[in-house]
Amino acid sequence: MKGTYTITVQSEAVQYDFTIRRNITIIKGDSATGKSTLLNLLDEYYRIGADSNVFVKCERPCIVLSGLDWKRDIANIQDSIVFIEEGSRFIVTREFAAIISNTNNYYVLVTRERLATLPYSVKEVYKFVVSEVTETGVTCNRAVWAYKELLEEVTVCPEKIITEDSKAGFQFFKALGKECIPAGGKSNVSACMMKENEAITLVIADGAAFGPEVEEVLALSKRYPNYSLYLPESFEWILLKANLLEEEFVMDILLNPSDYIESKEFFSWERFFTNCLTELSKSKAGWMYVKKKLNPIYLEEENKKKILHVIQEAGITL
């Protein structure tokens, strides 16, 4: 399943409007913010239909999943948007992650927990806010991005860089002459920040799968003002956006990735961008991209300038 889906759910008292763009979406928020009401309305509509007095508009079926038979139920759901509430403890397990990675559904997880086993994007974590109350008393809830502070303009020339790992991205940034420290995995980034909290430091991570870590990392960046965050989709996304291989169709993909990324094939957009760059570079003599070891051609002066231009658009000087 791929594409972007707008969902409207309405009863006599409340209305919800939100858009789903990826295979995993998180809806968080405190108690009494309308999360459970949304799931109850969707469940009523799915079981009873129009007799429920609930209106649901979406191009795909919206199904609420819960209970001990969740594995069997998932196996029988195809091309749907599956909603799961936080009381369903199975969502924190590796088994759940493994099972949904091989399905062609989108999943909306209503939870306040950090789901470390799932590679969800920092851009797909939302909370509901009341946008208006109509004259007829309908409360209209709109989903807003939970981490709007990441949109704040940042102008930084870091003395030090922390990266997720020691692969191609780390190798590129290290080659710029900056002190560069690999965290040894996205779950280690916050611990690395705690150790390295004196110099002006830029934290770079793959935003497409960094959702489980972003809250703690954001908190540390507020605690230590010497930190700045740069969370592009992935390093491969940066290289694709730099258009080093001069393929215009790649620019079309980057404008609307949802239209091209099949959820059953790519569990996260980071994997898609890696595959896209790897496959595309195979057909270009000398350009072969390997994630574990950066091809020196990407460090040639002209290519390096193009890559840095993409990064500079985020206010970062390297």
Ordered per-residue pLDDT tens for the chain, 318 residues: 999 999 999 999 999 999 999 999 999 977 766 888 999 999 999 888 888 899 999 999 999 998 889 999 999 999 999 999 878 889 999 999 999 999 999 999 999 889 999 999 999 999 999 989 988 889 999 999 999 888 877 788 999 999 999 999 999 999 999 899 999 999 999 999 998 778 899 999 999 999 999 999 999 999 998 999 999 999 999 999 999 998 889 999 999 999 999 999 999 999 999 999 999 999 898 999 999 999 999 999 999 999 999 999 999 998
- Domain spanning 5-146 has what CATH number? 3.40.50
155 alpha carbon, distance to own chain's centre: 23
Domain range summary for the chain, segments of one domain joined by +: 5-146, 151-312
Cβ(178)–Cβ(160) below 8 Å = yes
**DSSP letters along the chain, please?**
--S-EEEEEE-SSEEEEEEE-SSEEEEE--TTSSHHHHHHHHHHHHHHGGGGT-EEE-SS-EEEE-STTHHHHHHT--S-EEEEETT-GGGGSHHHHHHHTTSS-EEEEE-SS--TTS---GGGEEEEEEEEE-TT-PEEEEEEETTGGGGS---B--SEEEESSSSHHHHHHHHTTSEEEE-SSGGGHHHHHHHS-SS-EEEE--GGG-HHHHHHHHHHHHHSTTEEEE--S-HHHHHHHTTTT--HHHHHHHH-GGGT--TTT-SSHHHHHHHHHHHHHHTSTT----SSS--GGGGSHHHHHHHHHHHHTTTB--
- pLDDT given for residue 196 in this prediction: 76
For residue 179, what pLDDT is reported?
A: 93
CB 62 within 8 A of CB 83: yes
Report the pLDDT value the prediction gives residue 297, as an integer from 0 to 100. 96
95: Cα within 13 Å, side-chain hemisphere: 5
Q: What span, in angstroms and rounded, lies between the C-alpha atoms of 128 and 205?
A: 27
pTM score: 0.94
Cα–Cα distance for residue pair 52/107, rounded to 1 Å: 23
Position 32 scores a pLDDT of 65
Distances (CA, A) of 276 to 96, 146, 240, 257: 27, 29, 9, 11
CA-CA distance, 62 to 9, in Å (whole number)? 10
